């Protein structure tokens, strides 16, 4: 069974490997249920989802409704105001099919003015504190891709947990933010430990994150094999070897700072372009070969991406401040080469 770790001042002990709920919005209910059942079989008892993850909440709620398992459910909302947060919270309860949520988080607070709104009178945090006093939510958290924002949130002493980017390719949080959170007894949840699926050495990646005491890792999982692999990596933790560290450094250098984490926060695109798919088109081409890439589906993708009018909405939404329009052009040119 997986090692348990205390989630800070929440007082809750959960499996150090949790379940990230983004990818199951891309599979059927039956497939999602199978993945969740396998996670439960392995002892995973922390499940994280969000209002913004399509039908992920509903799929988790449906799967859990058929189980007799004690789990910790966490969800989150991008709402910044009190009324908006209350509305989203009620919808989360309904979709998850429960009466009390263990952890509810303010989602993706990446700018100072957003944090100010969240923490102000009639802000989202006020709603969550009311819900906690009523016993409808047990703990309150915040998620952010901005380390400066998380430092402010920790210093405010109004949150029970933080959710932070942490992997061997994005390790800055391990220098100040994670130690600060643990010192203040906040639970630390590491999002995207596999770089949103860009890190292929999942064994090394999972072990890297979990080697930090007190941290819970929540890789996204949408297939039974992914669950098995992640659990194997998390079981019987051992230090990274010199060769594994060198491999991780090479991967970090190769990915650089402008890689797409497949979070899909850039969506929806007004031109209906599947942006994260497009930004990984070169990687797909290397894996499946040029002959496969000549299929009609990829020709259709090229036709669609050629309709991009560079409106910039994707860049406004991207929490990583990626030059999405430039990256789309590069990927479009790479795909166009296939059909020359």
By annotation, the residues acting in catalysis are: 53
- Nearest alpha carbon to residue 37 among 12, 81, 69: 69
- 46-48 and 161-165 as β-strands: parallel, antiparallel, unpaired? unpaired
Distance CA 108, CA 114 (A): 9
- Nearest alpha carbon to residue 50 among 177, 115, 142: 142
What's the CA dihedral at 331, 333, 338, 340 to 10 degrees?
Answer: 170
How many Cβ atoms sit within 10 Å of the Cβ of residue 290? 10
Any idea which residue has 């210093």 for tokens? 155
Distance CA 31, CA 36 (A): 9
How many Cβ atoms sit within 10 Å of the Cβ of residue 78? 18
């Amino acid at each position: 069974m997986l090692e348990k770790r205390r989630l800070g001042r929440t007082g809750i002990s959960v499996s150090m490997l949790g379940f990230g709920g983004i990818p199951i919005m891309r599979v059927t209910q039956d497939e999602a249920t199978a993945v969740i059942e396998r996670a439960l079989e392995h002892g995973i008892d922390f499940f994280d989802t969000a209002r913004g993850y399509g039908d992920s909440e509903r799929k988790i709620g449906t799967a859990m409704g058929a189980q007799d398992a004690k789990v910790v459910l966490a969800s989150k909302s991008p709402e910044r105001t009190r009324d908006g947060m209350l509305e989203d919270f009620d919808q989360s309860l309904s979709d998850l099919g429960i009466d009390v949520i263990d952890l509810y988080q303010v989602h993706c607070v990446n700018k100072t003015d957003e944090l100010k709104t969240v923490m102000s009178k009639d802000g989202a945090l006020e709603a969550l504190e009311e819900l906690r006093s009523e016993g409808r939510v047990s703990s309150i958290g915040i998620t952010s891709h901005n380390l400066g924002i998380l430092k402010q949130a920790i210093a405010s002493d109004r949150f029970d947990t933080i959710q932070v980017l942490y992997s061997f390719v994005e390790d800055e949080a391990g220098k100040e933010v994670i130690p600060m959170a643990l010192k203040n007894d906040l639970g630390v949840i590491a999002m995207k430990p596999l770089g949103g699926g860009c890190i292929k050495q999942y064994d090394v990646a999972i072990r890297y994150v979990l080697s930090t005491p007190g941290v819970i890792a929540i890789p996204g999982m949408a297939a039974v094999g992914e669950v098995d692999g992640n659990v194997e990596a998390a079981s019987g933790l051992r230090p990274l070897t010199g060769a594994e560290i060198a491999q991780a450094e090479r991967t970090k250098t190769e990915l650089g700072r402008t890689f797409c984490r497949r979070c899909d926060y850039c969506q929806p695109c007004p031109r209906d372009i599947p942006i994260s798919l497009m930004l990984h088109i070169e990687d797909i081409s290397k894996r499946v070969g040029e002959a496969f890439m000549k299929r009609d589906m990829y020709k259709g993708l090229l036709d669609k991406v050629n309709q991009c009018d560079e409106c910039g909405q994707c860049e406004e939404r991207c929490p990583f401040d990626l030059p999405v329009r430039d990256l789309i052009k590069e990927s479009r040119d790479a795909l166009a080469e296939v059909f020359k």
